[in-house]
Amino acid sequence: MYELKVITNFSAAHQLKEFEGACEELHGHNWKIEVYVTSDTLNEAGVTIDFRTLKKHVKAVVGTLDHKFLNDLEPFRNQNPSSENIAKYVAEQLALSLQAPEIKVSRVTAWESEDACATYYP
Ligand SMILES: [Zn+2]
pLDDT, one tens digit per residue, over 95-121 is 999 988 899 999 999 999 999 999 999
* Separation of CA 20 and ligand 1 centre (Å): 12
pLDDT, one tens digit per residue, over 22-79 is 778 899 999 999 999 999 999 999 999 999 999 999 999 999 999 999 999 999 999 9
Q: What is the pTM of this model?
A: 0.94
Cβ < 5 A residues, ion ligand 1: 23
φ, ψ of residue 83 to 5 degrees: the values are -60, -35
Q: Which domains does the chain show, CATH number per domain?
A: 2-120 (3.30.479.10)
* Separation of CA 5 and ligand 1 centre (Å): 24
